[in-house]
Amino acid sequence: MALATSLSPTTPLVQAGLNPLGWSDDQILEKVYITHVHTAERYDVESLFNVASNIIRRATAVADTVAVKTGTPVGVIEDKVPLSTFDPPFLKLKHIASQMMNTPHGEHHAHQTAMSILEQLKSYSWDGKAIIVLAALALEYGNFFHLVQVPTGDHLGRSLAQINRVHIIERNRQAVADYNSLVKNLLIAVECITELEKLSTKGYDLKDVPALAEAMQEIPVAVYWAIVTTVVCVNHFDFLLGESDDRYEIANFDDKLAAVISKLKANLTRSRKKIGDLEDYWRRKKLLQTPTEIVEVLKVLIYHNEVHDPYVFDGLTRQMVTLEVFRKKHVLLFISGLDSIRDEVRLLQSIYDGLHEDPKEVKGYRKEDFKILWVPIVDEWNLLHKAEYDNLKLEMPWYVVEYFYPLAGIRLIREDLNYKNKPIIPVLNPQGRVVNYNAMHMIFVWGIDAFPFRPSDDDVLTQKWNWFWAEMKKVHPKLQDIIKADNFIFIYGGSDKQWMQEFSLAVEKMKRHEIIKRADAVIEHYPFGRDEPRIVPRFWIGIESLFANMIQKTHKDPTIDEIKSLLCLKQQQPGWVLLSKGSNVKLLERGEPMLATAADFEIWKDKVLEKAGFDVAFKEYFEHKRSDYPQECSHMQLANYPADILHPINCPDATCGRSMEIASVSYKCCHGITHNKAEIPESGDVMIEKKYAPS
């Protein structure tokens, strides 16, 4: 059945209070929401929409050819669903179409019909209501414009076209164009409504998609305007046939619908964008949590999907290089902003240097397999940020991410890597797994000694000297306060009083130097046993007893090497020195080169500011200075060690490691140097002679 014209009389003037065009969204929502009943039942409105939209697209395409008189045939529009699988609610559609056609002109009449239709469709979803009303329009509108293109030989069709007065629209081309525009907008509005409803059913948390949450609040109002505009469209079919010229009412509703469409499209665009971002985030998160390769993890943390061949800046060669340089490598990710990071840069410089120094392999890891990559975090790049970035980049010999747009994985960096706008150094293995979420503190404390930067390495280093502090606090309890302050502290002892005095003076001179103040370093020193000689034997008895217990254990205790070093240094003249920051021991060495290093502070003082701290600069100069002092035999004499238990042990000197000669209850190693014609094997690994000195 084709559309029929409304037979209603001319609409009287409408009171302003009854015109929906003057109502706010809240007023409309209050009226339409009471017609809605929530139900789990869901009609196949998607199939109905597919069929209705196909009809309207064809019908409006035919109408366009009439409006502009092109005679161009309408292209075939493929149905989205097989008609045989779909059973449309024909009687309901005909009833609603008839109800709309018989609605008199006037905004208040259109509103009353719209409310009646909403009441009839109260158990349908919001998009279902709009789709059924659109389908009712499609049924009549499609039938009418189907008759426009009836072939000449179709006598039944030609008769139907004549009785429906199809030929009249040829005289009203502008009316056809205006009317057809309104129908197209109705289809667009319903398309937006259905798309937003689909998005809302895909399980997204509306807190994560605020635009979708906003749209869901607006959907009932949008559905009302789609329905009431459809009513106006259908009951003004006489305008299409030239029987009325009520352009004003049609134009008003068309303008209102255009505003509704604008809001729907804006929310739809923002929702799609946010959902796209969410899905991209979930994809990246999954790759980060179940990684297989470091390069892929770096891509998801840094680069957008459209970047297919990512590059980084190589600070050593000053060239851009492919991300493949990190394949099968461990990566220290230096993640930071641009402000106040030069201390961290100096710290990483010491790590970078340490990765290129001997030994090349530590704890089964090769240093050459570790790379440093700086990922600068900048919310919004400007000229000042770019200039600061370029300046910092020049100070870095390692790799640098070069970008001037938002990082693709910034949410992962903030949430999964726990970046809180303060520099961090996560460590990733070649499979891309995070083995340490922030190695910054352990690197600050231990420097390159923290290699390969696992949390377990920090634990071992922290516990490595617990035995020393436990024994030291027994004889000097007040030392606890100095350790808690986390300052640098020199603890030194020996039998040479002149050397002790000279070392004290050298440290005092250092601690008062302007460079030390500028570096915010605090240096303390403690001459062990100088003021309380009686505590010295008590301390060494405790250390020797500890060593005696450890050496008899079946499994080697990891701290035994440090205990051996201290016991050997006990025998050294003029004394021994331990440098620590808080409880973290940095250096334990012979007295002479340590005194020389402290005395030469004026030579290396600038390194304190250039390097990653006082301890790093001190150790670097010490390594240079120690070569001026010849290696001596290492002796370890245990006055309280049980003579009936003798175990061979290796030399604690890091440059030696040979088996020590046993003489009575003394251990001795000369590092491969011949003394008193002692015969040493060419390899120097093991002493071939074991002697017991007479008691």
Q: For residue range 133-153, what is the model confidence (pLDDT) as tens digits?
A: 999 999 988 888 887 777 777
DSSP, res 326: G
- Residues 442, 452 contacting (CB under 8 angstroms): no
- Residues 109, 122 contacting (CB under 8 angstroms): no
Q: Give the whole-angstrom CA distance, residue 611 versus residue 356.
A: 16
Question: Has residue 687 got a pLDDT over 50?
Answer: no
Q: How many CA atoms lie within 13 A of 426 on its CB side?
A: 23
Mean local confidence (pLDDT), 630-649: 63
- Residues 583, 604 contacting (CB under 8 angstroms): no
Residue 416 vs residue 37, higher pLDDT: 416
pLDDT at 417: 95
Q: Give the whole-angstrom CA distance, residue 160 versus residue 59.
A: 17
CA torsion 589-594-598-599 (nearest 10°) is: 180
pLDDT digits (tens, 9 = 90+) for 366-423: 999 999 999 999 999 999 999 999 999 999 999 999 988 889 999 999 999 999 999 9
What three-state secondary structure class fits 13?
coil
Residue with tokens 């990710």: 333
pLDDT at 86: 74
pLDDT digits (tens, 9 = 90+) for 605-618: 999 988 778 998 99
Percentage with pLDDT > 70 across the chain: 84
User: Residue 179: which of 237, 226, 227 has the closest Cα?
Assistant: 237
> What does R_g of the chain's alpha carbons equal in angstroms?
43
CA torsion 352-406-280-199 (nearest 10°) is: 160
User: Residue 324: which of 294, 356, 366, 300 has the closest Cα?
Assistant: 294
What three-state secondary structure class fits 493?
strand
Lowest mean pLDDT among 7-21, 443-457, 475-489: 7-21
pLDDT digits (tens, 9 = 90+) for 185-235: 999 999 999 999 999 888 888 888 989 889 899 999 999 999 999 999 898
Token couple for 672:
């491969």
Q: Give the whole-angstrom CA distance, residue 438 versus residue 424.
A: 6
Does 9 sit behind a cis peptide bond, omega within 30 degrees of 0 on the bond before it?
Answer: no
Question: Has residue 677 got a pLDDT over 50?
Answer: no
Percentage with pLDDT > 90 across the chain: 46
State pTM to two decimals.
0.71
pLDDT band at 477 (very low <50, low <70, confident <90, very high): confident
pLDDT at 1: 42
Question: Has residue 94 got a pLDDT over 80?
Answer: yes
Residue 25 vs residue 248, higher pLDDT: 25
Q: Give the whole-angstrom CA distance, residue 569 versus residue 653.
A: 10
For the chain, give the number of residues.
695
Residues forming beta bridges with residue 424, ordered by sequence position = 335
Residue 467: CB atoms within 10 A of its CB come to 20
pLDDT at 676: 46
Q: Give the whole-angstrom CA distance, residue 535 versus residue 663.
A: 28
Helix segments in 325-454, DSSP class H: 342-355, 383-394, 410-415, 440-446
Element (H, E) at 331: strand 330-336
Residue with tokens 């998801």: 300
pLDDT band at 665 (very low <50, low <70, confident <90, very high): low
Which positions ≥6 away from 32 have C-beta within 8 Å? 115, 118, 220, 221, 223, 224
User: Residue 130: which of 254, 60, 180, 138 has the closest Cα?
Assistant: 138
Lowest mean pLDDT among 20-24, 376-380, 576-580, 667-671: 667-671
φ, ψ dihedrals at 626, nearest 5°: -65, -25
Checking DSSP bridges between strand 434-436 and strand 634-637, what pairing results, if any?
unpaired
pLDDT band at 688 (very low <50, low <70, confident <90, very high): very low
Token couple for 270:
């923002």
Residue 368: CB atoms within 10 A of its CB come to 11
Token couple for 388:
């600061």
pLDDT digits (tens, 9 = 90+) for 237-267: 777 766 666 677 888 899 999 999 999 999 9
pLDDT digits (tens, 9 = 90+) for 264-305: 999 999 999 999 999 999 999 999 999 999 999 999 999 999
Residue 6 vs residue 396, higher pLDDT: 396
Lowest mean pLDDT among 75-79, 108-112, 369-373: 75-79
Kindly list the distances between the CA atom of residue 133 and the CA atoms of 19, 183, 451, in Å, as whole numbers in the listed order.
21, 12, 71
Q: Give the whole-angstrom CA distance, residue 321 versus residue 92.
A: 67
